[in-house]
Amino acid sequence: MDPEEEREKKRVTLADDPSNKAMVQKDLHLLPPEILLEILSRLPITSLIHFKTTSHAGYDLIADPRLPSMFRNRVSDSNPCLILFDYNFPDFGPWFYFVDGEGSSRRVRKIDPPQHSEVDDLVGSCNGLLCLSSPRIGGSSESHGLLIYNPFVGDAVRVPPANRFPNQSEGFGFGFHPRTGEFKVVRIVCYDKILTVVDPALDVEEADEGFATVGELMVQVFTVGTTEWRTKGAPPPQLTDEGQPPEALVEGSLHWVTFVGMEGDGPIFGIISFELADEVFEEIPHPPCQQFVSWRYSLSMLNGCLSAAGLADDLHFDIWVMKQYRVKESWVKQFSFDPDFPGGWPSFSTVICALKNGEILLQYDDSSLVSFDPVENRFKTLQMSGLPNEFQALPFLPSLFSAKATMNSQV
């Protein structure tokens, strides 16, 4: 056992000792409330929740309305926690996992899904809230149900159902814009539009007794805290895959990788954004690199910047970073990994986030978390007890804000 693990074991043992708990609760009353709040705002989220559930004094302190804002100001974007969604769950329901800590002290904790709610997908994570989808009730013509959920506060609110259309399929995005202070859900739906055939030469997929159907795409937006979805028209023609979720939330905009054309025998991919404040689509300049012409790349946010990562023609894994948002000339190739992944090359890799120590956290093959040290040019598979066999990993900044309160006011 290394020294860090010994210290952690000793700390947990002391915290679980009943006499120590009683002493802590007694000493709490000797400190001014402002000092107590300052101390609590610096604790890890799991320690706060443990404190809340094991101490009457702790419950009252954590209920203080000033604490959520104080805690959010302490949370660091440079070393986020992780939410893991186990999508190969059994019939009993899905499982969520929370990963916190640093280095060898990272720990995996199972957390509860919303009570009395079925969940089949994790739409997105933003500012401590999760957007979850529940299964369709009536087949392909029914819309998914959506929940906004804080796994640590434990409350969830249901998003009003969206419009339903014939033979629809749909995809969702979830994000927050710092200028407006609003959380929004974006829905792209494809459905069959029924037409009356008056011209025999009309180009339609099928016609029967004067009626026909054509595929229609539509964008809808829901602002958390309101009661209705708003229709925004059709998405850009490049964004034809309505089920494809956005890959990155940067500068208050959701981003998709899209097919924009062909060059020779290979496809060309670009980037489309949806700005959540003004609710408009825009094409974002893609990295100026040949290898991304023929290989679909993935998007993420690194140190607050939009980044694009993919396998290069020379079999290096390159990460490009857009230092100045929307400025094409600001794309720089910040990292280029030697092809020396643990266990060989994965079939698909995604960049999760940058860590405080300068390393890059990646997920590959939906089953492993790997950190890359750019100084040592070295990979390390993170060995953590309790990791599910297959999962989706998202950066997560824990929050004490209630999902219900978010529905009623800006945070």
Is the Cβ–Cβ distance between 158 and 151 less than 8 Å? no
- Separation of alpha carbons 192 and 194, rounded Å: 6
Residues 335 and 307: their CA atoms lie apart, in Å, by 11
Residue 290 CB coordination number (10 Å): 11
Distances (CA, A) of 120 to 92, 100, 123, 391: 12, 24, 10, 13
Tell me the per-residue pLDDT of 87-104, one tens digit each, with 9 for 90 and over: 765 555 568 899 886 666
Cα gap 291→318, rounded to integer Å: 9
Q: What is the DSSP string of 239-268?
A: ---TTPPP-EEETTEEEEEEEEEEETTEEE
Helix and strand element counts for the chain (H, E) = 7, 25
Q: What pLDDT is attached to residue 152? A: 87
pLDDT of residue 15: 42
Give the model's pLDDT for residue 146: 92
- Residue where the block lists tokens 């009309």: 202
Q: What is the pLDDT of residue 71?
A: 86
Distance (Å, rounded) from C-alpha 360 to C-alpha 374? Answer: 8
pLDDT for res 244: 76
- Residue 11 CB partners (closer than 8 Å, separation 6+): none
Please write the tens of the pLDDT for every residue from 89-147.
Answer: 555 556 889 988 666 667 888 888 887 777 888 899 998 899 998 865 544 445 678 99
Phi, psi of 35 (to 5 degrees): -70, -40
Kindly state the tokens that stand for 76.
């660091």
Any bridge partners for residue 307, and if so which?
300, 321
pLDDT attached to residue 268: 77
- CA angle at 378 for the pair 372 and 380, rounded to the nearest 5°: 60
| Predicted TM-score of the model (pTM) | 0.82
**Which residue ranges make up each domain of the chain?**
3-70
CA 398 to chain centre: 12
Structure tokens belonging to residue 87: 């999508």
Looking at the DSSP assignment, which residues form a beta bridge with residue 261?
Answer: 268
User: The tokens of 86 are what?
Assistant: 């186990």
Residues 154/112, Cβ–Cβ less than 8 Å? yes
Q: What local confidence, expressed as pLDDT, does residue 292 receive?
A: 66
Low-confidence ranges of the chain (pLDDT < 50): 2-5, 7-24, 138-141, 207, 210, 410-411
Rounded CA separation 275/228 (Å) = 19
